[in-house]
Structure 1
């Protein structure tokens, strides 16, 4: 019986918000971004990448920024959509579709199964670290900003790849305004969002209320049950309050709630390893899957993803003088989720997570953050200094129900119990594998992070600015787990005795040994040469903990050569928290070298130029170019299904990424706009010897020798990505309104999903075409309409992978969304 890989993965996801423990950005712009006032059609977006408001073109780092209108035009609703329009951004998925993880310039990932570590790209919402992936976040925004490369000083820990900032539209003083937006499309799409801004006291108090819902049928169907997977069913609510009691005090409070109840991922089986135990059983299902295509599957678990997320925050600024500002940011967050997944993508009960106990969750976290910052700014010298604190814990136990094949003699038996057809029929089982249910009634994760930092910007000349900053972060993390074997699963041995296959004495021995057996106590007893003696509810609760700390810094120089040209050079150090592997402590002890995972260190050098061009008349252009080289030491990597079918996190010694990014716009004449983005990333391991895994009989794990993977490329990093966009604004007709046509083509080259050679180890390159026709201000009214089509050629492409061919014996994937079309209506007031 294998330990639940999903539980161990959930420990990582459970601690993921701790991995976001960095410092939020400064206040967002009060007004939505507007197009260039000169009429050139180049959109100017206010960003907070350096924790104060400025034009994106003035930020001396690589940044891709979107306004809410830009996201609407491109149909960006999730991180998977966002990656199609952002250089060097990839979104890593799992067979649980909404568990998106960002990777920028090859760095990201969820950190692996265990406690500590976490994503290498930090997400922020409304100025506090949180999750910005999955549904329910990309609406009523002032801006969405993707910062590339380590953000070492101001954003702190775990921003080794970058940061994604979502700034909601804040309440405005003195104006009642809002909008309502409705989308109808194929797959029974029904989606809507809206916002209402109300000033309550002139120049003192205003509120903004916003919400959205998104419903759509799934695009993958279960060929046996008719159940649809990969649907949409979520809603979000948001409330903001701006309170400015004096000219020197500004206080923003926000409350956000997201609710998701979706059917989960419809994964597709791609290949079966003939050398693994279940190959003969899996092969017919693979052939059936190949005959069905990628829009149908057959699973043993009705997968689901259920999540609730609550966030409350306050950001208050005090102007102590004309040059000195004190800022305090506090947040409280509660996230709860449960999911059911079929990791083998077949009707067989090989690797299935049934979800949490009724009324419980796989993930249940309370997170509190507090930051106090002091800022000095006299126009020549700007200093930002402060401290940050995060505390996270599990308010109630995390629970899991995991199904694996029954072993011949139960937990401590040999191979799986595979029943011949006649015996399967006599027992009334749908498959020749008898399922064994492992119950995990309690688990906890917790973490704490502290940091102090300071960053200085000094104008050496009116146009030449030097930047230097330093930060130190301290992290602690830990958790516990308990599990036992469901007694009902072992009644099959009594049935076998009734049929005369085994004797009653043999059945009694197996049932007596395994029913309610404490799983981890049994493993430890056998490892010590003893015999299992503990049964639920008298199980012990193994614990595991760790700590790490490290510095981050930034050095930069930027030159505003003229109002339209910025050149810069910057070098940054990133730190990613260390971690621990609970599965190692259970089988090998905390003293084993595989238990503790060292912190990851990243150092980069980036050179860039941002340039706006006046080409005469109405012609305008913009070119932003950056080149970078990144060095990684002790990079954290995942070794798949290493112990008892579970992944572990380890360190590779050295790696590097070098690349180039380009973002450009051209407006040759008024009403015609071309834009393009491109990125090149070459990411590979320089020194990477996978750690040898000893044979662990009590875990049914064979020895795995060390392998030299030096020179292999990173996973989920396409070497080339680009997007081409053309927009034609048709001549407006008085009293009719404005019409526009937009066409977009995005492409990314092939990307590896694992450094180890195996079938389907590479996602093939693919391109997507989206079209949109808009009619704005219809007949002079504040009504906009649009007809859209996404992936209009119905391209079939993979977006995730579970590459376990060399370990668990199979590989599967989720495929991206098919062709979709619909209409969108918006009323503004």
Structure 2
């Protein structure tokens, strides 16, 4: 990282010492309401009224976040119906964001998000990195549709643009908020800013601490989905003259939580056979919808944590008629997870340090992501302000080290035999049949393990321009483009592994000692991919060497991915009156391809042909899967209207997003596969109405109707290795893409009669149609029949938030009583197959549960 740190230091020095005649900040009031109708945003990297820009954007004020109890971006869907975010197993590694039903699902670090998150102009490389608390904000903007021209390559569905509050150069100001609620929820937020040289330099420090018990309770006594995190942020703001401003920020945060267990919402019909295989318990007590409503799980303890820090420097410098912006940033993010992701009380397997089946000193499971970014922009106006121009360049350097560690437990072979063979192969075949490949002595998988390391180094460079041409006083044309160059170098190396049961199964299968109908199952299960050694040996009679040249087993690899793309946009805007605007736009967006960072990513794909040709005069050469997946592209069309009618704003957007090479991750119950789907589309309409009904009464209502689905011919051209999975998606809705979602809210913020006290009353309802929660909706039997996977759909629901507060006459203190999800709707964000438990037609299914009803009190003070 020496090169990155050197570059970062150079960027900070530039931000600190480049100075010239003065610059008056163009967004000095950004994010503040100047009057009832004006909300300033920077969605176009220029300060502008949200009603004057030809982009579908939801501008969220800090007060709205507080009134809805939105402490982090996971809850933004309660005020932005186009927005959806979900996590599975871990929040730091398995979080995905969607806008208009479009986004990348899955917990694979090689996948980047379709929705970019930017905090103070700095790109957050993965959603898990951006999950810190929303603290001390100036504004938050949800930008819908491709934003690649201005915000970069991984914004093919949209972007979140978050800006924190900077210190005042003239006043001392601060705040303290303290909350307590059910599940023993405690939250403390505080911040203070002060000038150190009046009108020239100031500092601001803010922090938050949040703690809460978990709302999922296991039969083992473990709990999950708690909160235990804190964050600190400090910044220095310097304005040495009217033409120059320098902002340097640093933050540190730590998370150590129990996340993320899941409810078994459907148990396998093979449950009775666990006793047949000698287990005193099948490991599952509560299951089904009674377990879902009761928030009851069955697993041992999950843990998920992260530690990260970052620094950034922003320089704004007016150079005559132009303004230079430089943003330099470095971030170091480390996560860990301990997963008992068999989701039962049996000791089947554990991921990471300290699991129920791991030995002391076992290595951690987690990611380390180090990112350096540098952006330069030069912008200004020309031709008597008829041209508003912007040019820029961006460089990013990212290093990922993702380590996966898993150990099998004493119940592995019996439980997996029960969940996959029932009684058709005798008692515990995964144990007893290993004797056929081990000289007559069966091999126990207890203690088998693997520690796998994925290394990815990525560089991206781009140049871009974005220009607004005023054709007449009421008609303007926006043209923008960005050229992006990508390079990623990745590898899979196994640090250590031991699995005698896997070796015995491989030997027995390749020598023919194991009966033919059981060979694939024996190898696939005893060689569970996450604990399969890469150095498994083939029998000498078959030429020796690695077994992975004959069977689809993990193998080490190293490869390079390169791509370049031009993204572009064109927008025509017409303002027939000062208060109305019509626009039409086309955008071409891009999301980087990369690598499937999974042990199975480069497995043999023609095993049957290779084995059949052994000993013949024409042996078939092995063909291995390509660990790379291609870049995702989107063509987006939008027609919109924005109008201001007195104190009420009304916005409408009609959109269509056509995706090609859409990136999909699927968990089969045994392994993760990543592939491209030829085509998918999201088409619909969004409506937003917001404003004031009275001096003290405001309202908001918004809705999104979208049909987001895979094309009927989405498997055309798919590689043979994945065509079976892809074909099951064709014609199906995208995951977590309801046809309709809406939000309605009303707020009173004004005097309490003539008492001198202030009254805050807020009521908010959000609704979602039913939505798919799994990657796949079907699975195919051996006879080719399609079966629906159970409980794929989350049914429609309403969720209600409310808050009432009282402010003292001197406006120093506010006391609030609040509740979120007051209707206590228990909903699932993601549904998946339970690992290794049940086969086609007998699947056990798990659901990852969204937050239940919470309520509490908050006291606020400010100065």
TM tier relative to shorter chain: 0.7 to 0.9
CA shift at 1:740, angstroms?
2.5
Q: Which of the numbers 162, 169, 172 marks the counterpart of 2:165?
A: 169
Q: 1:581 to 1:530 in 2, by over 3 A?
A: farther
CA shift at 1:325, angstroms?
1.7
How far apart, CA to CA, are the structure 1 residues paired with 2:702 and 2:389?
A: 34
How far apart, CA to CA, are the structure 1 residues paired with 2:648 and 2:486?
A: 46
Q: Which of the numbers 220, 225, 230 marks the counterpart of 2:216?
A: 220
Q: Secondary structure at the match of 1:346?
A: coil
User: What is the match of residue 346 of structure 2?
Assistant: 348
Q: 1:78 to 1:295 in 2, by over 3 A?
A: farther
Please tell me whether the aligned partners of residues 223 and 301 of structure 2 are also in contact (alpha carbons under 8 angstroms).
no
Q: Which of the numbers 533, 545, 557 marks the counterpart of 1:519?
A: 533
Q: Which of the numbers 651, 669, 674 marks the counterpart of 1:649?
A: 674
Worse-matched range after superposition: 256-265 or 560-569: 560-569
User: What is the match of residue 152 of structure 2?
Assistant: 156
CA shift at 1:272, angstroms?
4.2
User: What is the match of residue 720 of structure 1?
Assistant: 740
User: What is the match of residue 330 of structure 2?
Assistant: 332
Please tell me whether the aligned partners of residues 27 and 53 of structure 1 are also in contact (alpha carbons under 8 angstroms).
no
User: What is the match of residue 795 of structure 2?
Assistant: 764
User: What is the match of residue 818 of structure 2?
Assistant: 788
Q: What's the CA shift string for 1:76-121, capped at 9, x where partnerless? A: 1123310121131111321224543210112212577473x41111
Please tell me whether the aligned partners of residues 770 and 794 of structure 2 are also in contact (alpha carbons under 8 angstroms).
yes
Please tell me whether the aligned partners of residues 791 and 818 of structure 1 are also in contact (alpha carbons under 8 angstroms).
yes
User: What is the match of residue 688 of structure 1?
Assistant: 714
Q: Which of the numbers 566, 571, 579 marks the counterpart of 1:551?
A: 566
Q: Which of the numbers 245, 254, 261 marks the counterpart of 1:266?
A: 261
Q: Secondary structure at the match of 1:760?
A: coil
Q: 1:715 to 1:293 in 2, by over 3 A?
A: closer
Please tell me whether the aligned partners of residues 120 and 162 of structure 1 are also in contact (alpha carbons under 8 angstroms).
yes
1:825 aligns with 2:859: yes
How far apart, CA to CA, are the structure 1 residues paired with 2:236 and 2:726?
A: 57
User: What is the match of residue 239 of structure 1?
Assistant: 234
CA shift at 1:352, angstroms?
3.9
User: What is the match of residue 577 of structure 1?
Assistant: 592
| Match runs of 1:62-101 below 5 Å | 62-97=56-91, 99-101=94-96
Please tell me whether the aligned partners of residues 522 and 532 of structure 1 are also in contact (alpha carbons under 8 angstroms).
yes
Q: Which of the numbers 392, 399, 402 marks the counterpart of 1:386?
A: 392
Q: Which runs of 5+ in 2 are unaligned?
A: 1-23, 355-360, 433-442, 505-522, 549-553, 607-621, 779-788
Q: 1:279 to 1:53 in 2, by over 3 A?
A: farther
Q: What's the CA shift string for 1:433-454, capped at 9, x where partnerless? A: 9644423164322211111111
How far apart, CA to CA, are the structure 2 residues paired with 1:211 and 1:418?
A: 60
CA shift at 1:360, angstroms?
5.0
Please tell me whether the aligned partners of residues 30 and 171 of structure 1 are also in contact (alpha carbons under 8 angstroms).
no
TM-score, normalised to structure 1, is: 0.82
Q: Which of the numbers 157, 176, 182 marks the counterpart of 1:180?
A: 176
CA shift at 1:373, angstroms?
1.8
Please tell me whether the aligned partners of residues 80 and 100 of structure 1 are also in contact (alpha carbons under 8 angstroms).
no
TM-score, normalised to structure 2, is: 0.79
Please tell me whether the aligned partners of residues 31 and 169 of structure 1 are also in contact (alpha carbons under 8 angstroms).
no
User: What is the match of residue 21 of structure 1?
Assistant: none
How far apart, CA to CA, are the structure 2 residues paired with 1:479 and 1:487?
A: 24
CA shift at 1:455, angstroms?
1.6
CA shift at 1:205, angstroms?
0.9
| Match runs of 1:393-472 below 5 Å | 393-394=399-400, 398-403=403-408, 406=412, 435-440=446-451, 442-472=453-483
Q: Which of the numbers 821, 843, 847 marks the counterpart of 1:813?
A: 847
RMSD over equivalenced CA pairs, Å: 3.9
CA shift at 1:821, angstroms?
1.3
Q: 1:464 to 1:315 in 2, by over 3 A?
A: same
How far apart, CA to CA, are the structure 2 residues paired with 1:400 and 1:141?
A: 38
Q: What's the CA shift string for 1:257-312, capped at 9, x where partnerless? A: 12101011231112245589998889955563235444444444410111011111
User: What is the match of residue 707 of structure 1?
Assistant: 727
Q: Secondary structure at the match of 2:231?
A: strand
1:609 aligns with 2:603: no
Q: Secondary structure at the match of 1:520?
A: coil
Please tell me whether the aligned partners of residues 557 and 570 of structure 1 are also in contact (alpha carbons under 8 angstroms).
yes
User: What is the match of residue 194 of structure 2?
Assistant: 198
Worse-matched range after superposition: 581-590 or 368-377: 581-590
Q: Which runs of 5+ in 1 are unaligned?
A: 1-25, 425-431, 494-509, 615-619, 696-701
Q: Secondary structure at the match of 1:100?
A: strand
CA shift at 1:353, angstroms?
1.9
Q: Secondary structure at the match of 1:259?
A: strand
| Match runs of 1:725-744 below 5 Å | 725-729=745-749, 731-734=751-754, 736-744=756-764
Q: Secondary structure at the match of 1:689?
A: coil
How far apart, CA to CA, are the structure 2 residues paired with 1:28 and 1:300?
A: 54
How far apart, CA to CA, are the structure 1 residues paired with 2:694 and 2:541?
A: 75
User: What is the match of residue 496 of structure 1?
Assistant: none
Q: What's the CA shift string for 1:304-347, capped at 9, x where partnerless? A: 111011111111122111x2122221110000001122333212
User: What is the match of residue 519 of structure 2?
Assistant: none
